[in-house]
Structure 1
Amino acid sequence: MEVKKFFTLSLESIDGANEFVRELLLKYNCSKMDSVRAQLFVEETIVHWQKGAQENETFEISMGKRFKTITLSLNYWGDQSNPLALPEEVDDPEFNLIGQNILIGLSSVTYSYENGRNNVSYTLKVKSTNPALTTAIALIAGIVCGLALLYFSPSTGLWIAATILTPLSGTFFGFLNAMVVPVLFLSAIGSIFNMDNVAQMKRIFRSLLSWSLGIILLASAISLLAAQLFFINEGSASSGGNSGDLWGQIGTMVFGIIPTNILQPFLDGNTLQIMFLAIVGGVVMLTLKGRFPFITKIITEGNLIFTTILDAVCTMMPWVVFISILNMMVSGNGGALLGAIGLIAMIIVSFFAIVVIMLISVALVEKMNPITYLKSAGSFLLIALSTASSSATFASHTLTASIKQGIRDYVINFSIPVGVLFNKQFSIPLLLLTSLFVGRFYGIAFTMGEIVPVVVLCMILSVAVPPSPGMGPFLFTIVFNLLGIPLEGLALAVTIDIFMDYPMTFGHVMTTNIGMLHTEHMLRVKENKVDLKKSLSSR
């Protein structure tokens, strides 16, 4: 059921509109953070629209719920006015665009203009049970039930596995695999062309991009080293041929990214070529900046449709984990769970290596003791580690960066939402090492020539895929398809992913914060040089 209410389009209506939204979200059992973000969305939209509105004009707030998705919409009848389109330049470089930047960065807001009506819609999720808790319960239940069947009636367990468990898991993973191509393309292209605020932040975007790419290369190098040490033995390495063959495979992979037929990558499910088309399309749309609103709307709405379907499918993940783990236990393959302990230790060591190198950069560039840095950033890093939510750290992160770290407002207001979108470098070792571990469980040996394209794909995915729920099984599906790993192994991979999401979020938030520190340092160095030149020229 949709609820609607009209308000006068003025700043005086902000409190009433926020109260209306807050009360509705309480009924829908939304989280406190989502409620704050929704009120921020309403406030920034009102502030933008009221600037060009006539006296006594009105706007409408509507909210409706379908399944586990809540849509909050604001409608204003008048001249076209997009609150998400940031200006190329502003009179005051410190102008507070925090609301618009965070909403654009999270890619959760859409804008349309039809028949004289401006519509801005914000999509939220109903608060759900902690996925780590439900997955832990499913994991333990699967192990207990599997051990019980093995002890009391092994033959019954094998019959259940063959006639019920295997078909059920196969159907689920087959449907998930069918979702890969459209979700991959639409989410990647949408993530790029939604970044309209890049133009306003030209001075800092290059610094942030350089830092982000540097950490991506670092995470990829550490992942390759761990793969070489633990998953590529002498036999598999030699089977791949000599170094010339390796570089030949890499060259084939690089040039093979560019498709010769636009439709063929979608028919073949070639993820690298699909990513190439999505990136090119997103950059072109970003350059044209809304000259084709019809195409933009199709992609935006399509992305929302498939993401909603993916969310619905992934709510079943605890049941799938239970079925798959039970199937693994009754089939006599429960030893893989014990092997996963070593994998988790390997991934955590990889994470730790990336964190140490980032802290070294703080010591070298900022001349700051790493312990001092951790004390200053401890509040929001602990929130990230305990909640696995970048959004939950927003308020504490912003306050700490501004007051304790002395970072200027417009750097913070741009960097945090962009970081939520692009800084997912810690997912690279998780994706690669977990996929190789599952592949080895199924008896698949890998050469370095086979792993390098996967690392390249993981690098692209860490940038292009938005941080929305359900991306864990989606990302592993892509990597498994590229490596030829049976999709039945997704249950184990996703279980590991859910628990590793906590240290990963810690790393992603730290990456964003240190990137802001280095950007602020760069700006101050440039400003000091300008001041010095002015001082010398005035003498």
Structure 2
Amino acid sequence: MKEFTIKVLPEQGNLTNAIEFIEKRLIECKTGSKDRAKAVLLAEEYLVELFKVTKENRSVIIRVKRFFGKTTVTLISESRNEVTAGTVNSILDLDCYESAPNAEAAIRSMIINANSDILRQSYRNGINKIVITAGISSQKNLMNVLFSMLLAVIVCSIMRFALSENICNAINDYVFMTIKTIFLNALKAVIAPLIFFSIAASVSSVTDLSELGKIGARVMGFYAMTTLAATIVAFTAYNIINPGTFNELSYMISETQQVGGQETVSILDTIIGIVPDNFIGAFVNSATLQLIFLGILVGGVVPLMGEKTEKITSFISAANDLFLRVASTITKCLPIAVFAFIGSMVMTMDFQLIMTLLSLFFCILLGMIVMLIFYLTVVFIMTGSNPFEFFKNAVPAWLNAFALSSSSAAMPFTMDTCDKKLNISPKLYSFSIPLGATINMDGFVVVLTISTLFLAKVFGVELSGGEIASLIVTIVLLSFGAPGIPGVSTICMSVLLMQFHVPMEALAIFIGIDAITDPLNTANNVFGDIVGTFCVGKRSGMMNGRH
């Protein structure tokens, strides 16, 4: 364990010294350059605000600590009131960013909001406390999951050949199944409030596109168009490869979860079923479309509440943060759950399953390649630019996103590419890139669509026309409101499995595939953000800094 602490008086000259202290100590704690840069940026923003509210003759305590591989920066101050920094409202008006300094401020504020998942803030008994996590990246989470998968395959393969069938069944039934059930129950418990508050918070923060201006409307319209295209590409790729055969993996279903006969659901039934007849019932039944509808309805009404709007918005935002934190805590157990899921699969599966999973992987890969071709075609049609030259300029950001497996973590490099390689105005990319990291998830749509269709088929669940329409709507809306936390794909897939009555054993297969395809997924998302920004910039005359 390493721990470093200093106290600084809230004077302007001390800010530089405080930032230098934090940066040097983070280097000593061996944090990565990108994690360190994000932590220093957040710390600087909050120190500026803490200096304003700290009581006279009181110091700000700065502590950098590394414990069990986790590095944190803690800022503590005895203050007159609660500190605020990087609020959403401060970044909505694009017209205020006419100069480079203001554009830089917008970028900083956007990055702060995008990295809120590594930030904890509290104000109790006159004490402001900000904790910034600087040492755990999404890449590490991915590596932990991949390592857990590999370990499960090796250990359980040895056990399968070395131990008797009865012992293997006992380990699967009493160890792996127990862990799987606990993890899935925890996910189910948090899914309904997570969907509702995530959607409500998103809608209540931006309900009037006139606040964003014409440019904001164009960016959001482009992202909606590519999301719809992603669903079409996913269905096309699925029908071309046609992975798996019907009911192929039904042997993996426990006796208590056998799929029974299902009523055919028409498109009309799906539309009617979006509106619930009981507010609480939508939560009890985890009815995804009903929860999304209620979230949009409540979020849209919030701005109409007059003087109560601010309090209600704060409550919804706090509730959203709470359930995001709960979900994030649950997904920290993902490597353990993955070991149990994959271990159970290895213990019981027919090795023909490997070929089936390969066909699913190639289907998703085809979808990603087609989306890449689609993006370059859109660049040519909408801007007349050479798509190969564009790809050459944008590919460093694509590779960076692939390596980081996180749109938020890749955001600084993505913005730098827009600025230096593509010559896009800061006024545009300071808005469009953070927005895209939140709502433009075309790779996410491709993976979820293909995987849901595949899992439904191999576990013997027939989807009617109405259910397929419901699937499209649900995935598109989930892509707009998906929380930015590690393991979000697992959470969203569990939502879809429950909605379409696919046995939860299917989640084990998805977790394995998602861990492998996640870098491609993220790279696709980021590339779509860059394409949207470039096309809107070209058509709006917002290139080379021209406004």
**Which letter does structure 2 place at the counterpart of 1:328?**
M
**Aligned equivalent of 1:241:** none
**Aligned equivalent of 1:304:** 321
**Aligned equivalent of 2:113:** 104
**Aligned equivalent of 1:465:** 482
Q: Structure 1 residue 71: deviation in Å?
A: 7.3
Q: Structure 1 residue 517: deviation in Å?
A: 0.9
**Aligned equivalent of 2:530:** 513
After superposition, the C-alpha distances for 1:167-218 in whole angstroms (9 at most, x for unaligned) are: 3322221222212112222333334445599776423211111110001110
**Which letter does structure 2 place at the counterpart of 1:86?**
S
Q: Structure 1 residue 64: deviation in Å?
A: 8.6
Establish whether residue 169 from structure 1 lines up as the match of residue 183 from structure 2: no
**Which letter does structure 1 place at the counterpart of 2:190?**
M
Q: 1:19 to 1:372 in 2, by over 3 A?
A: same
**Aligned equivalent of 1:86:** 90
1:43-54, aligned counterparts within 5 Å? 43-45=44-46
| From 179, 187, 190, the counterpart of 2:201 | 190
**Aligned equivalent of 1:140:** 150
**Aligned equivalent of 1:315:** 332
SS in 2 for 1:93: coil
Q: Structure 1 residue 62: deviation in Å?
A: 5.7
1:323-402, aligned counterparts within 5 Å? 323-402=340-419
**Aligned equivalent of 2:255:** none
SS in 1 for 2:361: helix
Establish whether residue 283 from structure 1 lines up as the match of residue 284 from structure 2: no
**Aligned equivalent of 1:33:** 34
After superposition, the C-alpha distances for 1:517-538 in whole angstroms (9 at most, x for unaligned) are: 11212321999xx99xxxxxxx
TM-score by length of 2: 0.81
Taking the aligned partners of 1:367 and 1:357, their CA distance within structure 2 comes to 15
| From 94, 118, 140, the counterpart of 1:130 | 140
SS in 2 for 1:141: helix
SS in 1 for 2:384: coil
CA RMSD of aligned residues (A): 4.0
SS in 1 for 2:435: helix
Taking the aligned partners of 2:384 and 2:492, their CA distance within structure 1 comes to 38
Q: Which 5+ residue runs of structure 1 have no aligned equivalent? A: 236-244, 532-539
| From 223, 231, 234, the counterpart of 1:212 | 223
**Aligned equivalent of 2:442:** 425
Q: Structure 1 residue 363: deviation in Å?
A: 1.1
Q: Which range moves more in the overlay, 381-390 or 509-518?
A: 381-390
Q: Which range moves more in the overlay, 374-383 or 122-131?
A: 122-131
Taking the aligned partners of 1:188 and 1:322, their CA distance within structure 2 comes to 32
SS in 1 for 2:441: coil
**Aligned equivalent of 1:536:** none
In the alignment of these two chains, the number of paired residues is 516
Establish whether residue 439 from structure 1 lines up as the match of residue 456 from structure 2: yes
Identity score, percent: 21
**Which letter does structure 2 place at the counterpart of 1:174?**
N
Establish whether residue 77 from structure 1 lines up as the match of residue 80 from structure 2: yes
Q: Structure 1 residue 490: deviation in Å?
A: 1.3
Q: 1:27 to 1:278 in 2, by over 3 A?
A: farther
1:237-276, aligned counterparts within 5 Å? 249-276=266-293
Report if aligned partners of 1:161, 1:327 keep a CA contact under 8 Å in 2: yes
Taking the aligned partners of 1:288 and 1:422, their CA distance within structure 2 comes to 26
Report if aligned partners of 2:86, 2:110 keep a CA contact under 8 Å in 1: no
| From 505, 528, 534, the counterpart of 1:488 | 505
Report if aligned partners of 2:38, 2:134 keep a CA contact under 8 Å in 1: no
Establish whether residue 14 from structure 1 lines up as the match of residue 15 from structure 2: yes
Taking the aligned partners of 1:162 and 1:2, their CA distance within structure 2 comes to 47
Taking the aligned partners of 2:37 and 2:373, their CA distance within structure 1 comes to 34
Q: 1:162 to 1:392 in 2, by over 3 A?
A: closer
| From 211, 224, 228, the counterpart of 2:235 | 224
**Which letter does structure 1 place at the counterpart of 2:155?**
C
After superposition, the C-alpha distances for 1:58-109 in whole angstroms (9 at most, x for unaligned) are: 8846669899695755765369976523275766523222111222345546
Report if aligned partners of 2:121, 2:131 keep a CA contact under 8 Å in 1: no
**Which letter does structure 1 place at the counterpart of 2:150?**
I
Taking the aligned partners of 2:456 and 2:441, their CA distance within structure 1 comes to 23
**Which letter does structure 2 place at the counterpart of 1:338?**
M
Report if aligned partners of 1:223, 1:350 keep a CA contact under 8 Å in 2: yes
